[in-house]
Chain A
Amino acid sequence: MTLTATALAFIGSILAGFIGSLLGLGGGIIIIPMATLLFHVPMHQAIGVSIIAVIATSSAAASAYVKDNVANLRVGSFLELATTTGALLGAVLTAHIPSQMLTILFSLLLIYSAYNMFQKRNSELPQGVEGHPVAAQLHMHNTYFDRTLGRQVPYKVDGVFKGFAVMWGAGIISGLLGIGSGMLKVLGMDMVMRLPMKVSTATSNFMIGVTAAASAGYYFASGLINPSLAGPVALGVFVGARSGSSVMSRLRSSTLRKVFVPVLLYTAVQMLVKGVQ
């Protein structure tokens, strides 16, 4: 790659890392189109580069979120079992499931979620969450310090098994399509487990690296991680995720939701176009 192309990949990845760390996504929605459209890399290699970006976003952002106790370690560890087994199953099923139909279904699900999120756009913290008994047993209920509210926010975790099921589905879809796992994780924690929005995005950041690692071995050993592109992408994502994670704590949850809605719609359109083609 030329110096200009390297610089371009680096700058684009700063944006991907920034948005990804803010919203709990891996940035695949930015990295994959950038790799295929701008750098004309084949789809498989684009997914390989995206996996590197996901792990880089996750590691850099989660470092800050775990330290600030915004990411919930126990919720993350519990749900990782669902996402990794789901991703493994999804990867096995790839050959047997028509991905075109799945892509269209996925985009419809995202549009529906965007609508839901839009309805909740002004909600700052979840109200009246009773908490699931299993969540108490696993010490999932927790407290984080919210900088914008200027106080400790205690919260409870609901819908533990429903959340587990949603994460399993998220894992399967990400294994099948190679995209979208972070988005579904945030939606599942926000809507089913009823965690505060910041805890949902931070915990998603904590988990996505592990989901991606489940398929990273294959991509690396197959030589699908193209270092001339993956190198600047990883570095850019590190920079973006670092700054994103420090900005996130200064934003209101309602602001995060308002950023999340257009990103959901953008991804839905992207997937719809891909599915119809």
Chain B
Amino acid sequence: MQTNSAAYRKAPHTAADQLTNQRTLETIVSSFLHYGTLVSATLIFLGLALAMLRGGDTGYPVGVYPIKPADIWQGLLAGHAAAVESLGFLALLAIPITRVAITVWGYSRQREYPIAVVSFAVLMVLLMSFLLGVNAS
């Protein structure tokens, strides 16, 4: 019976087994989003609070803040408030992209290949637009 994979795929899923099937991936996605927002919010808050405690000194001239990962890293080493905040924004931007990567992995593991392929295509579009955007800037 288990060799007949086509028949297996066409077998109707009852609500119950579909739910147990989905539960794991949903728990993973949900916890990832939870901790992702927590990390990003903490960094942004720390950056803002540091600048405020230092009387508005972000470590950079007014209107200037680090954008490139290398500059952010340098700023972090120097303890600049704006670098901590920028890291928080980077973490925030990484959340949706990583989340799509997690669903690609999850659907593949559950052998739901059509939706895994769709999700993979989304990941590629995101990466492409990210690269296009960064280059265009």
A residues lining the B interface (CB < 8 Å): 3, 6, 52, 55-56, 58-60, 62-64, 66-67, 69, 73-74, 77-78, 80-81, 84-85, 87-88, 91, 137-139, 141-143, 154, 209-210, 212-223, 225, 227, 230-232, 234-235, 238
Q: B131 on the interface (CB 8 Å rule)?
A: yes
Nearest opposing residue in chain B for A74, CB measure: B115
Kindly state the separation between the CA atoms of A63 and B129 in the bound complex, as whole angstroms: 25
Determine if B96 and A138 form an interchain contact, defined as CB atoms under 8 angstroms apart: no
A81–B121 contact, CB under 8 A?
A: yes
A67 touches B133 (CB 8 A): no
Known: A213-B97, A222-B137, A227-B82. A234 touches B92 (CB 8 A): yes
Q: How many A-B residue pairs have CB under 8 A?
A: 166
Task: Report B103-137 residues with CB < 8 Å from chain A CB.
Answer: 103, 107, 112, 114-115, 118-119, 121-122, 125-126, 128-134, 136-137
Q: Select one of A63, A143, A230, A232 contacting B37, CB under 8 A.
A: A63
Closest chain B residue, CB of each to CB of A3: B52
A55 and B95 contact, CB distance less than 8 A: yes
- Size category, B interface: 35 or more
Q: Which residues of A contact B86 (CB under 8 A)?
A: 227
Which of chain B's residues have a CB closer than 8 A to the CB of A137?
Answer: 114
Give chain B's interface secondary structure class.
helix
Are A77 and B103 interface neighbours, CB within 8 A? yes
Q: How far is the CA of A3 from the CA of B56 in the complex (A)?
A: 10
Q: Which residues of B contact A78 (CB under 8 A)?
A: 115, 118
The answer to whether residues A231 and B47 also contact, given A63-B33, A63-B37 and a CB cut-off of 8 A, is yes
Tell me if A227 and B25 are in contact (CB < 8 A): no
Q: A55-B96, A80-B100, A220-B93 are in contact. Are A142 and B126 (CB under 8 A)?
A: no
Complex interface: chain A residues within 8 A of B118 (CB): 77-78, 80-81
Contacts of A77 in B (CB 8 A): 100, 103, 107, 115, 118-119, 122
A74 to B18: give the CA distance in the assembly, Å: 12
Tell me which of B103, B125, B133, B134 contacts A73 (CB under 8 A): B103
Beta-carbon contact of B89 and A230 below 8 Å: yes
CB distance B112 to A138 under 8 Å? yes
